[in-house]
Amino acid sequence: MTTTNHLMHGVHRTAFPRLAVIALALLAGCAGVELRGTGDLGVVVERTTDSLLVVETTGRTTLGEVDGLGDLSHASVVYSRDARYAYVFGRDGGLSKVDLLRRRRVGRVVQAGNSVGGAISQDGRLVAVSNYEPGGVKVFDAETLALVADIPAIHGAGGARSKVVGLVDAPGQRFVFSLYDAGEIWIADFTAAGPPAIRRFSGVGKLPYDALISPDGRYYIAGLFGEDGLALLDLWHLDAGVQRILAGYGRGEKPLPIYKMPHLEGWAMTENLAFLPAVGRHEVLVVDRRTWQEVQRIPVHGQPVFVMARPDGRQVWMNFAVPDNDTVQVLDVAASQLAKTLTPGKGVLHMEFTPRGEQVWISVRDAGRVDVYDTATFERLASFAAKTPSGIFFTARAHKIGL
């Protein structure tokens, strides 16, 4: 009897959780809702419409479309910490909140006249947006999209406002951004309650056009459009100020006409090296991350736009500005040489790796198509239609600094 009761208790302990899961699945089925996680989801921006495609990487398929998102001609996306919600930053100043599971817009605010990107705070409670017009940063509650802070990018004695670029999240409830017109870098610290503490760094260089933060959250690096070189701020040692790196890398050379500025976010960083696009040149610069000195230049097909490392750091993939925007090249980091050249078609605008790097998704705008490639064999695994696709953003970004 004792043995029988013991076995019965064991059956009850294991059976009830299983019954509960079965019951939930049946209820979900009756309600027409598919139970699933968000870890393999993402979105593809359809740049000439007001819509996103919601996609999943396991089966390489589209799940649905979300519209009503405004001007997406220069759109970017960040995710809530549970990876359910996408925050979409439109060029028209619109900030939209999209529920990936229900595949619909659940919030929207037009917060400026011209916006170029945004970030989400370390704790996931704040969403910041960088604006050209009016110049500055606005910060919102991630749950309600209510305005939390307005930071005008005022510089000089006359009260002029600067365009804001290169906005990223940093550890410690901070946002870091650059003032294009002023040549400054600001840090907005939201650690304490109330208005943020602002720390300013001036004289960082001419016309910082974009920026990134290193994957460990330590270094903020702004590219300079007005001169060769970059501005580096060590967030562990703020009192050391801004350091200039790679100053004059094109000295003595005539730069080519610039058809599209490189994007620094997603910049390729491996364990000891950084790979960055050389503005106005058909080159990728290789930099030693320990000294921030140039160690190599690699000739490439055109003017690089995105230079992105596969998650394991073994490969670097890059696309190019017009007239070479039909091509993608792959660099083998171990061999320090190009390993593959692909020609998906005109208008290759963006690439995104799956979280472990076995696939790369590539938007081919002019063909109205997204291609999926195997990063080991370079075989095209799948293609699907999209309306003028551009940015591709997977939910793995929810757990990465600066993305």
Question: In percent, how much of the chain has pLDDT > 70?
Answer: 88
Asked if 191 and 214 count as a contact pair (C-beta separation under 8 A), the reply is no
What is the pLDDT, as a whole number, of residue 260?
A: 57
Span 355-386, pLDDT tens digits: 999 999 999 999 999 999 999 999 999 999 99
Helix count and strand count (H, E) for the chain:
1, 34
What is the pLDDT, as a whole number, of residue 257?
A: 52
Q: What is the mean pLDDT of residues 233-245?
A: 96
Span 127-176, pLDDT tens digits: 999 999 999 999 999 999 999 999 999 998 788 999 999 999 999 999 99
Strand ranges of the sheet holding 304-309, from the earlier edge strand across to the other edge:
304-309, 315-320, 328-332, 337-342
Q: How many CA atoms lie within 13 A of 298 on its CB side?
A: 25
Rg (CA), the chain: 23
Q: What fold does the segment set 256-343 form as a domain? A: Thrombin, subunit H (2.40.10)
Write down the pTM of the prediction: 0.89
Span 65-113, pLDDT tens digits: 999 999 999 899 999 999 999 999 999 999 999 999 999 999 999 999 9
Give φ, ψ of 315 to 5 degrees.
Answer: -120, 150
* Residues ≥6 apart with Cβ < 8 Å to 15: none
- For β-strands 348-353 and 283-288, DSSP reports them as unpaired
* DSSP string of 270-330, one letter each residue: -SSEEEEEPTTSSEEEEEETTTTEEEEEEE-SS-EEEEEE-TTSSEEEEEE-TTSTT-EEE
User: How far, in Å, CA of 251 to CA of 40, rounded?
Assistant: 45
What is the pLDDT, as a whole number, of residue 281?
A: 84
* DSSP string of 6-18, one letter each residue: HHHHHHHHHHHHH
For residue 242, give the 3-state DSSP assignment. Answer: strand
What's 29's DSSP letter? Answer: H
What is the pLDDT, as a whole number, of residue 250?
A: 56
Phi-psi region of 292 (alpha: psi -120 to 50; beta: other; left: phi over 0): left
Domain range summary for the chain, segments of one domain joined by +: 256-343
Span 46-62, pLDDT tens digits: 999 999 999 999 999 99
Please give the mean pLDDT across all residues of the chain.
89
18 pLDDT above the threshold of 60: no
User: How far, in Å, CA of 254 to CA of 273, rounded?
Assistant: 27
26 pLDDT above the threshold of 60: no
What is the pLDDT, as a whole number, of residue 255?
A: 59
Q: How confident is the model at residue 235 (pLDDT cuts 50, 70, 90)?
A: very high
The label of the residue with tokens 């840090």 reads: 187
| Range name among 161-165, 231-235, 287-291 with the lowest pLDDT average | 287-291
- For β-strands 147-152 and 136-141, DSSP reports them as antiparallel
The tokens describing 61, both together, are 């398929």
Give φ, ψ of 376 to 5 degrees.
Answer: -90, -45
